[in-house]
Amino acid sequence: MRYLIISDIHSNLHALDAVLKEAKTVGYDQVIVLGDLVGYGGDPEAVIDRTLALEPVAIIRGNHDKVAAGIEPSSLFNDAARVSIEWTAKVLPPSHLRLLKNLAKGPLTVTKDIEICHGAPFDEDYYIFDADDALKALQIATAPLCLYGHTHVPAAFSTSGDAPPTTTASEENVDKLKIADAGRTIINVGSVGQPRDGDSRAAYGVYDVESRVMEFRRVRYDVVGAQSRITDAGMPPWLALRLMRGQ
């Protein structure tokens, strides 16, 4: 079994299409979505349609999905995020707002060995940035492997009883992580639509259950096209600029 793992698409259809095109050649069996389909980008309706058409075996909501659906107020966001999510809520038809509202709250059990959340297993909006944050999450996680998003930065942490996970670069656009048999591991594969690690390429993951190998993959996409969708919508220019900078 190979899972395609996508997170934090943020209405970036150009990035999502590039990921799906490459992932088709890489190969996968089922899809897992870790939240934040919308926000920041200019194609929320198309991104929702494209994502749900994949028939994910598991999908959870992110904080931007919640605010767009009216579950939480936009006042929780900074000015740029607030403007973009208010625009998103305005342009989405009621049917799509209902879809966002009905997304499951994490954490969610996918299999006995895999759990998913948007932020952390103990708080769907919590940011896991460092080892201390990860330790709190690993202590709460109920499965050997927990997949999360929210930070837009690829990362992996482990409480393995033997050797920790090892990452080996095999190509320019992929690193492979061998997950230890013992202990627990928590992984963020990065953001499809708005990477924040200084690399503008869309990020996603492919996890092979049998080999216990996670592939952290990157793919180039039409950043200029995605930027145009943001500026054409009248959203803050910074939201377009940051895509090119990987911020």
How confident is the model over 178-197, as pLDDT tens digits?
998 888 999 999 999 999 99
The answer to whether residue 161 scores a pLDDT higher than 70 is no
The answer to whether residue 174 scores a pLDDT higher than 70 is yes
Q: What is the dihedral of CA 133, 203, 45, 52, to 10 degrees?
A: -80
Residue 172: which pLDDT band, with cuts at 50, 70 and 90? low
Question: Using one digit for the tens of pLDDT, what is the confidence trace for 235-246?
Answer: 999 999 999 999
> How many residues are present in the chain?
247
Please state which architecture CATH assigns to domain 2-195+216-245: 4-Layer Sandwich (3.60)
| Boundaries of every domain in the chain | 2-195+216-245
Question: Using one digit for the tens of pLDDT, what is the confidence trace for 116-145?
Answer: 999 999 999 999 999 899 999 999 999 999
Full DSSP string of the chain = -EEEEE---TT-HHHHHHHHHHHHHH--SEEEE-S--SSSSS-HHHHHHHHHHT--SEEB--HHHHHHTTSS-GGGS-HHHHHHHHHHHHHS-HHHHHHHHTSBPSPEEEETTEEE-SSBTTBTT----SHHHHHHHHHH--SSEEEE-SS-S-EEEE--SSSPPEEEEEETTEEEEEPPSSS-EEEE---SS---SS--SEEEEEEETTTTEEEEEEE---HHHHHHHHHHTT--HHHHHHHHHT-
Rounded Cα distance, 28 and 230, in Å? 31
Residue 168: which pLDDT band, with cuts at 50, 70 and 90? low
Q: Looking at residue 171, what is its pLDDT?
A: 60
Report phi then psi at 130, rounded to 5.
-145, -175
